[in-house]
């Protein structure tokens, strides 16, 4: 024991006099900092040798691969705003530095899933099937003709991504914007039919379906190209999807609450409110850097808010049109709260889904409790699941927020942070031959 105490005392003295308390400098993840890392002389020299097909030693090849992996991770750590700023400013930086831009082996585009092409193929087959059904209704085909047409269109739609060169440089955004363009385009095309034919739209179903099909197909192509060409973060694309549905739904509910019942008004409302939703999404994306996981969690919280409003409708047995304002307002309020809470969270896609899974698990518990409390009152079947779901949602979200804050290396205040760690396992190594090296029993640092 005396030997252990002597070693511990010696280590503490050594720590006190050899930079135990040190100031750590952290480089922020900014576009200019990434550009500086990309243009380090060592990397540029080796990269130029590789481009010129000059022989590299094994150690140089290994270093180059490791460094390009580091650059790829660095770029992905940038916010969506910083990525866009990099693309818009790099030409100016190269001109000021008077150096040429070299061809980099770093993939700095939006992330691509390993099986992304398979997702495109699957979604293409599904959309081809839907388009076949729409054409069947437009041309009034019989069951046999419908089966043949839908099968051919589904198969042809699945083959197109396999052979088309347009799918050689795809990313997640291209898939999400393509799917959103097809769904939203179908809605907007049918809304145009509602605006034109109003309550007589059912008499002109062929024309309305034609507008819906053409709009869906056209906006699907537009979304696909935007996803490939625009350097948008996944969170920004998710905001476009979220607001593209949320704003028309809310404005339509307000119109319904006013007692208006002509389809023309709803069609015009959707056509006017959808662009407003996209403009709002663009503005919000400039105020906060959300991830796709954040928006996934936001959808879950908005659903919980809608359930609260609907439960109040059922408790109060409200049946007039204005009652729909309760879930509409509660949805809008929960959406605003969620955007504030999630603004600095930076959830990954799996984390966003898990937060919603926790809400679903909690909601099932509340749904079961409703049978025991008052099975005859429908309000409990929404209020209790919303409450227990919110508990599960909040617990897991709070865990992720605390866990991520613990991993952050950049301090948010000016107060010093002292850390001390004990390593009792190193007592084992003090009894073996370590060739003069004594592993530490205590480590400490001070960040200020």
Average pLDDT over residues 354-380: 93
Q: Where is average pLDDT lowest: 15-24, 89-98, 314-323?
A: 15-24
Average pLDDT over residues 259-285: 94
Region class of 351: left (phi > 0), else alpha (psi between -120 and 50), else beta: alpha
pLDDT at 51: 81
More confident: 423 or 89: 89
More confident: 280 or 88: 280
> Does the pLDDT value for residue 124 go beyond 70?
yes
Please tell me the pTM assigned to this model: 0.69
Indicate the Cα dihedral angle 173, 178, 183, 188, nearest 10°. Answer: 100
> Does the pLDDT value for residue 433 go beyond 80?
no
Percent of the chain with pLDDT over 90: 50
The set of residues, in sequence order, having a beta carbon less than 8 Å from that of 242 and lying 6+ positions away, is 281, 295, 298, 299
Check: CB of residue 243 under 8 Å from CB of residue 278: yes
DSSP states along 139-190? HT--HHHHHHHHHHHHHHHHHHHHH-GGGTT--HHHHHHHHHHHHHHHHHHH
Where does the pLDDT of residue 144 fall: very low under 50, low under 70, confident under 90, or very high at 90 and above?
A: very high
CA–CA distance from 116 to each of 61, 120, 223, 428 (Å)?
30, 6, 16, 49
Nearest alpha-carbon partner for 441 in 420, 428, 419, 424: 424
More confident: 414 or 78: 78
The encoded tokens of residue 87 equal 């693309």
Spatial distance between the Cα atoms of 420 and 72, rounded to a whole number of angstroms: 33
For 273-288, the pLDDT digits (tens) are 999 999 999 999 988 8
User: Look-up: residue for tokens 């770093």?
Assistant: 106
Where does the pLDDT of residue 19 fall: very low under 50, low under 70, confident under 90, or very high at 90 and above?
A: very low
Where does the pLDDT of residue 236 fall: very low under 50, low under 70, confident under 90, or very high at 90 and above?
A: very high
Pure H helices in 317-379? 325-341, 349-373
Average pLDDT along the chain:
83
Where does the pLDDT of residue 106 fall: very low under 50, low under 70, confident under 90, or very high at 90 and above?
A: low
Q: Where is average pLDDT lowest: 208-222, 329-343, 430-444?
A: 430-444
- Residue ranges of the domains in the chain? 25-100, 288-410, 413-448
More confident: 45 or 298: 298
């Amino acid at each position: 024991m005396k030997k252990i105490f002597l070693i511990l005392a010696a280590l503490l003295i050594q720590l006190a006099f050899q930079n135990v308390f040190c100031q750590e400098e952290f480089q922020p993840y900014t576009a200019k900092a990434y550009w500086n890392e990309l243009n380090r002389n060592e990397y540029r020299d080796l990269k130029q040798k590789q481009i010129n097909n000059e022989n590299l030693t094994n150690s140089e090849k290994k270093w180059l691969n490791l460094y390009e992996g580091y650059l790829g991770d660095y770029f992905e750590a940038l916010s969506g705003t910083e990525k866009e700023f990099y693309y818009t400013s790099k030409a100016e930086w190269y001109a000021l530095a008077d150096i040429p831009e070299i061809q980099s082996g770093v993939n700095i585009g939006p992330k691509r899933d390993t099986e992304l092409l398979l997702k495109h193929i699957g979604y293409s087959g599904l959309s081809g099937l839907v388009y076949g059904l729409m054409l069947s209704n437009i041309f009034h085909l019989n069951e046999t003709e419908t089966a043949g047409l839908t099968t051919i269109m589904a198969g042809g739609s699945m083959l197109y991504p396999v052979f088309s060169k347009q799918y050689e440089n795809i990313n997640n955004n291209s898939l999400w914007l393509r799917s959103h363009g097809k769904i939203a385009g179908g809605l907007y095309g049918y809304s145009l039919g509602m605006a034109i034919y109003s309550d007589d739209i059912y008499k002109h179903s062929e024309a309305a379906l034609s507008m819906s099909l053409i709009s869906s197909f056209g906006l699907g192509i537009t979304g696909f190209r935007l996803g490939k060409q625009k350097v948008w973060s996944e969170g920004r694309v998710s905001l476009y999807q979220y607001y593209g549905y949320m704003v028309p739904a809310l404005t339509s509910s307000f119109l319904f609450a006013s007692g208006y019942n002509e389809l023309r008004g709803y069609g015009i409302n959707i056509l006017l409110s959808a662009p407003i939703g996209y403009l709002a999404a663009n503005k919000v994306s400039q105020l906060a850097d959300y991830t796709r996981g954040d928006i996934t969690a936001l959808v879950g919280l908005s659903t919980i808010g809608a359930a609260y409003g609907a439960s109040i409708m059922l408790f109060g047995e409200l049946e007039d049109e204005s009652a729909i304002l309760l879930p509409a307002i509660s949805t809008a309020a929960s959406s605003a709260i969620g955007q504030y809470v999630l603004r600095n969270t930076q959830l990954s896609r799996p984390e966003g889904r898990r937060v919603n899974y926790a809400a679903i698990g909690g909601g099932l518990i509340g749904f079961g409790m409703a049978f025991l409390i008052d099975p005859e009152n429908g309000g409990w079947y929404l209020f209790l699941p919303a409450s227990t779901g919110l508990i599960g949602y909040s617990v897991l979200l709070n865990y992720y927020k605390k866990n991520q804050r613990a991993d952050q290396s950049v301090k948010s205040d000016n107060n010093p942070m002292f850390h001390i760690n004990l390593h009792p396992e190193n007592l084992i190594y003090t009894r073996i031959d370590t060739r003069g090296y004594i592993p530490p029993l205590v480590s400490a640092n001070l960040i200020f």
